[in-house]
Amino acid sequence: MGNFTYHVERVQSWLGLSRVHIAIHSVAVLSLCYYRIRHLLVEPPSLAWVLMTAAELILSALWLLNQAFRWRPVSRSVMTEKLPAEEELPGVDIFVCTLDPEKEPTEQVMDTVVSAIAMDYPADKLAVYLSDDGGCGVTLFGIREAAEFAKEWVPFCRKYGVKFRCPKVFFSPAGEDQHLLRDHGFRAQRDLIKAKYEQMQKNIDKFGSDPNNRRIVSDRPPRIEIILEEPGMPLVVYVSRERRPSLPHNFKGGALNTLLRVSGLISNGPYVLAVDCDMYCNDPTSAKQAMCFFLDPETSKYIAFVQFPQMFHNLSKKDIYDNQSRTAFKTMWQGMDGLRGPGLSGSGNYLSRKALLFGSPNQKDDYLQDSQKYFGKSVAYIESLKVIIGQKSTKKDISRDEMLREAQVVASCSYENNTNWGTEVGFSYGILLESSITGYLLHCRGWKSAYLYPRTPCFLGCAPTDIKEGMLQLVKWLSELLLLGVSKYSPFTYGFSRMSITHTFTYCFMTMSSFYAVVFILYGIVPQVCLLKGISVFPKVTDPWFAVFAFVYVSTQMQHLIEVVSGDGSVAMWWDEQRIWILKSVTSAFAIIDAIKKWLGLNKVKFNLSNKVVDKEKLKKYEQGRFDFQGAAVFMAPMVLLLIANIVSFFGGIWRVFNLKDFEEMFGQLFLVTYVMVLSYPIFEGLITMKSKSG
């Protein structure tokens, strides 16, 4: 356990036992690979054996890379009560990005904005920036309405110590416990504010009912507007950068870099919070929790960002699509936290402005000598950078109008031309996952990060309630990560020379995880076809080598089970995670295809925005724990073919065993198809429902 000034680091209690397991399992995996390769060299190789050897070599390599997450997992807790007084806390700028009101309902976006405005942080140190990358009229109207409502909401929250600062949650059944044991004055004011909140929603809905107000404007000048600037209230700014159809805009990364420049001119907080427009601030103390790392004398110099888990308010009890991403946000991120820090997720992260703009932690102050090459030609913006690195600024106070004009300049399409924005400065444009590559490059430059998984979720979003949206996200993430793996920034080359081996392994695994598709497709076809033909691809059950295969299977399952149960999960969750893991792994074949097309220049690079609109029928199915494959026929095609192969193989294999009495030779394959059949029953059910509805 490591005790710091403002936080505590705890190493996993069974770390020694975990490392012993890794060592023993490694010996078993090497033995299995030896068995496969020796067989190829000693006997005439068959196609089936070659394919199975390839699958197991890929699986072994992925397993080895995956163990880096388990080498030194840690958890952290913070001591916000030890932080300096509020007047001594640094400024924080909150970035909320939205694009399309059709997929990101404006009412939902404004709930996030209001929850950010109401954060438990000194108002004069807090600024909220909304990036409207669609230039939609309803978004500008919505933030004006939200700011007016916030004038009533924020004082109410402060007066009564409201825990849930998102008004939608506070006025829902989930927030009713905060209404109990309150006096008449509280209830009267609550009812008044509830009426104003409902009126705000009605106004936004009415304004947005006109299609012209919801239309994305892709050819527009920049627009910067200060929405709220009053004593005792955080600053609220609307930002719509310039967009021209003929000029690159670099998607969300470009929008975030615009916010970095605009906010640098206006509020220039040393730290920024990036949050998705559908992920409201659930715990208002998250900024203070992050400051326990940024301000800690023992860690402050090297911490580039503090990552919180992405969690969701609409998870069902079964969570059949694994929306909680337990493996990522508990096993992987906590494992990376014990090395040099977790990766940067797309939301719920506090970042150091200095880390984003100034190279390595040991960067010399002469970084600004060639400032226009790095940061552009805005003198006012370059002067603002001096404040971030502790230099004295020579700029004179400028009027608000002049500052807004300069903000429009740095929000123009041409501002980044002939600069290092998107390469060495700000969020990286290397791949469409601007957060993933930015976090990776920060680690390569020598920065560290921290991961905090508090009991009360700091940010809550809306999880996909059908398989289609989940698969679209998965294919986008995995294809972009694969492109990172073959780019000039590949962790296999660029990363190995700049990070420790174990930390590099974690990034190598993430970039190559789509290759599980190759493994499961081969494992889903070759043993099944061979079972029907009477060709054995596993050792006889009486062969000593069979014990090696059995040990690897049982050992892997036990490791997974222990991780789930120790993380407050259940046996049912362990079983469900296996199912969705196989389903997602098979579907990731589309990610490999998509990445190859992009790499060859056959696919136009485009950003697929996740749909945040909730479908009531799909939500009902999800809450009942039933798979919904409507609209996902293409993604399900590989899985359907594998399931058909397993069904035929299952019944054909049973017939073989009873008639030819070759149970010993075929036990491994018969066990495999039986396991897949039992595991896939809910998928069968969902596919039958989809077929009956389409018919």
Q: What is the pLDDT of residues 108-150, one digit of tens each?
A: 999 999 999 999 999 999 999 999 999 999 999 999 999 999 9
What percent of the chain stands above pLDDT 70? Answer: 94
C-alpha span between 85 and 221 (Å, rounded): 42
What was the pLDDT predicted at 602? 81
- pTM (two decimals): 0.92
Q: Which residue has the tokens 């909680």?
A: 324
Question: Which residue bears the tokens 């403002």?
Answer: 6
Report CA torsion sign: 263, 266, 272, 273.
Answer: negative
Of 214, 267, 257, give the one whose Cα is nearest residue 237.
Answer: 267
Separation CA 289–CA 664 (nearest Å): 59
Rounded to 5 degrees, φ, ψ at 611 are -85, 120
Q: Report pLDDT digits (tens) over 469-487.
A: 888 889 999 999 999 999 9
In the structure encoding, which two tokens stand for residue 48, read together?
């089936």
Q: Is 674 left (phi over 0), alpha (psi -120 to 50) or beta?
A: alpha
pLDDT at 695 over 50: no
Answer yes or no: is pLDDT of 613 > 90: no
The pLDDT of residue 607 is above 70: no
Active site residues: 133, 435
Write the pLDDT tens digit of every residue in 562-592: 999 988 888 988 998 998 899 999 999 999 9
Phi, psi of 301 (to 5 degrees): -65, -30
Kindly state the tokens that stand for 682.
């809910």
Q: What is the H or E stretch that residue 211 is in?
A: helix 211-214
CB 512 within 8 Å of CB 585: no
Mean pLDDT score, 202-225 = 95
Q: Does residue 282 register a pLDDT over 60?
A: yes
Task: List the binding residues for Mn(2+).
Answer: 252, 276
Provide the annotated binding site.
Answer: 103-104, 133, 252, 276
Mean pLDDT check: name the lowest of 124-138, 420-434, 672-686.
672-686
DSSP-derived letter for residue 173 is G
Residue 656 confidence (pLDDT) = 82
| Confidence label for 664 from pLDDT (cuts 50, 70 and 90) | confident
Q: pLDDT tens across 291-310, in order?
A: 999 999 998 899 999 999 99
Each residue of 338-375: pLDDT tens digit?
999 999 998 999 999 999 998 888 876 666 677 888 89
Q: Please give the C-alpha separations between residue 689 and each of 322, 397, 633, 677, 692, in angstroms, as whole numbers.
A: 21, 66, 12, 18, 5
513-517: average pLDDT = 96
Binding site per annotation, positions for UDP-alpha-D-glucose: 103-104, 133
Instruction: Tell me the angle at which helices 633-660 and 681-694 cross, rounded to the nearest 10 degrees.
Output: 120
